[in-house]
Amino acid sequence: MTASNNYSFLQPFTLPRGQELKNRVFLAPMTNFASKPDGEVSDEEIAYYERRSGGASVVVTACANVTEDGKGFKDEIGVHRDDLIPGLARLADAIKAKGSKAVLQIFHGGRMCPPELVPDNTPVSASAVAPVREGAVTPRALEKDEINHIIHSFGEAVRRAAEAGFDGVEIHGANTYLIQQFFSPHSNIREDEWGGSFENRTRFPLAVTEAVLNAAELHADDSFIVGYRLSPEEAENPGITMEDTLALSEILSSQPLDYLHVSVQNFWSGSMRNEHDTSSRVALIQEKIGSRIPVIGVGSLHTPEEAEKAMASGVPLIALGREFIMEPDWIEKIVNGKEDTIQTTLSVHDQKKLVIPDALWQAVTQTPGWFPVTDK
């Protein structure tokens, strides 16, 4: 076994925009359903993040909607109004007080928003194409002025995050939400400048990125973290292919971003479009653009050995999600040589000990296959 202080993921790292990280581990963004109904951060939510801050160098929050019509989950964080800034500041302060950098993930749910959570009970998207799932609602296609308003709102979200004291933001361009919907030939069948060709489908992701970077320059210091999260492929046909993603990654790598965060369930998983292609999607992206922008790998890295193996593929950074829910002291136990006590399962009796909000606990314990849950 590697000596605990020699794990490469414990080494410091400096992001391209200048932020110095104490190690190479991020807390991955995960929805927790614990904000107040109006989007304000709650005490329960702050306690959850406090418990998981300090070990990882960077804590990325659950997604925060940038407009009222972008709310993708019940009781999620909002960053769409100025009156939410004091609560956001409490969250940023709680994370930073423990010794982690605080990064707010910003997003718009698009056609994935539950109708009851958005104005007029009608989700919006690039085009009026429903997602492929049972009972899915067909969204309304956004007008051009609405598209521009959403782009502007991403910039405003950055202003609010900076005012609240966050160290940075992560643009959520993954997991089938609005930014990905514009990039996807499945959900975007527009015939104007916002859809059609590959170039036109990248226009919205790039416009959001530009708005975010411009807002960071205006409202934050030079080292303000700006990351981008993407999903490598879509199962739908037509849908996003690995070729599409490698091309988009190349374009994004030329932007002054701090990292590209690849959203997959398992670091080593192959193609969801071609069962014969077993190459790690994360490794392919690292190989393509890793020399130009730091890549974050994520997905089922439960033990330090698994995390170290992922790092050996070339990625300079890793993110842990479910791992930090089951074991908030993941980093501390490794640093103190207590790797063998890391919890890699979750007991149905551990909610209080793990400081997990009620709604998230329900999801964790009742979603088959998501977490290894035991009744011990």
Structure tokens at 7: 């794990």
Contact by Cβ (8 Å): 63, 107 = yes
Contact by Cβ (8 Å): 163, 85 = yes
Rounded to 5 degrees, φ, ψ at 139 are: -80, 165
177 labelled catalytic: yes
Residue among 7, 177, 228, 259 flagged as catalytic: 177
Structure tokens at 365: 């314990």
Residue appearing with tokens 């170039």? 199
User: Which three-class secondary structure state does DSSP give residue 317?
Assistant: strand
The residue count for the chain: 376
Radius of gyration of the chain (CA): 19
Q: Which residues pair with 104 in a beta bridge?
A: 169
Contact by Cβ (8 Å): 21, 14 = yes
Region of 265 on the Ramachandran plot (φ > 0 left; ψ -120 to 50 alpha; else beta): alpha
- DSSP 8-state symbol, 336: T
Question: Which residues 6+ apart lie within 8 Å of 345 measured at CB?
Answer: 326, 372, 373, 374
Cα 75 from Cα 13, distance rounded (Å): 34
Cα 103 from Cα 133, distance rounded (Å): 31
**Separation in Å, CA 225 to CA 170, 180, 181, 230:** 8, 21, 24, 17
The H or E element spanning position 4 is none
Structure tokens at 240: 């996003």
Contact by Cβ (8 Å): 262, 295 = yes
Cα 305 from Cα 323, distance rounded (Å): 13
- DSSP 8-state symbol, 29: P
Q: Tell me which residues are annotated as active site.
A: 177
